[in-house]
Amino acid sequence: MIANARQRIRVELGDARSYDVVIGPGAIDELTAIEARTVVVLYDVAVEALAQQVLTAFGSRVLLVRGLVGGEDVKSWELAGEIYDWLADVHVDRDTVLIAIGGGTVTDLGGFIAATYLRGLRWCAVPTTLLAAVDAAVGGKTAINLSAGKNLVGVFHHPSLVAIEPAAFTTLDPRDVAAGMGEALKTALVADPELFAFLEREMPRALAADPDVLATTVAHCVAAKARVVAGDERETDDSGAGGRAILNFGHTVGHALEKTCGYGVLRHGEAIVLGMRAALALSRERGLAPAQADRIMALVNAIPAPRPDAAPDAIIKATASDKKRKAGKVRFILIHDVADPYIVDDVTEASVRAALTAIA
Ligand X SMILES: NC(=O)c1ccc[n+]([C@@H]2O[C@H](COP(=O)([O-])OP(=O)(O)OC[C@H]3O[C@@H](n4cnc5c(N)ncnc54)[C@H](O)[C@@H]3O)[C@@H](O)[C@H]2O)c1
Residue type at 43 in one-letter notation: Y
CA 239 to chain centre: 23
**Active site includes 326?**
no
Using the minimum distance from each CB to ligand X, give the nearer residue, 50 or 293. 50
DSSP 8-state code for residue 71:
S
Catalytic residue among 248, 258, 277, 284: 248
Interatomic CA distance for residues 173 and 157, integer angstroms: 29
Mapped onto helix, strand or coil, the DSSP state of residue 2 is coil
| Beta strands at 141-146 and 149-156: parallel, antiparallel or unpaired | antiparallel
Give which of 185, 250, 251, 246 is closest to 220, Cα–Cα. 185
Mapped onto helix, strand or coil, the DSSP state of residue 58 is helix
Q: How far is the CB of 151 from ligand X (least distance, A)?
A: 5
Q: How far is the CB of 299 from ligand X (least distance, A)?
A: 20
Interatomic CA distance for residues 13 and 265, integer angstroms: 36
Give which of 183, 89, 201, 72 is closest to 136, Cα–Cα. 183
Strand blocks (E) in 262-348: 332-337, 340-344
Using the minimum distance from each CB to ligand X, give the nearer residue, 164 or 293. 164
The CA-CA-CA angle for residues 189, 254, 134, to 5°, reads 50
Q: How far is the CB of 46 from ligand X (least distance, A)?
A: 4
Q: How far is the CB of 20 from ligand X (least distance, A)?
A: 18
**Active site includes 183?**
yes
Using the minimum distance from each CB to ligand X, give the nearer residue, 169 or 196. 169
**Active site includes 268?**
yes
**Active site includes 255?**
yes
**Active site includes 251?**
yes
**Active site includes 91?**
no
Name the site residues for ligand X (rule: CB under 6 A): 44, 46-47, 70-72, 75, 102-106, 108, 128-129, 131-132, 135-136, 139, 141, 150-151, 168, 171-172, 176, 179, 267-268
Q: How far is the CB of 351 from ligand X (least distance, A)?
A: 26
Q: How far is the CB of 250 from ligand X (least distance, A)?
A: 12
Catalytic residue among 202, 233, 235, 258: 235
Using the minimum distance from each CB to ligand X, give the nearer residue, 141 or 284. 141
Using the minimum distance from each CB to ligand X, give the nearer residue, 102 or 288. 102
Catalytic residue among 150, 158, 220, 225: 225
- The residues that bridge with 67 in the sheet, in sequence order, are 43
Catalytic residue among 122, 244, 259, 277: 244
Using the minimum distance from each CB to ligand X, give the nearer residue, 293 or 308. 308
**Active site includes 225?**
yes
**Do the beta carbons of residue 51 and residue 70 sit within 8 Å?**
no
Q: What is the largest CA-CA distance in the chain?
A: 61
**Do the beta carbons of residue 315 and residue 275 sit within 8 Å?**
no
Q: Any idea which residues carry the catalytic annotation?
A: 119, 141, 183, 225, 235, 244, 248, 251, 255, 268
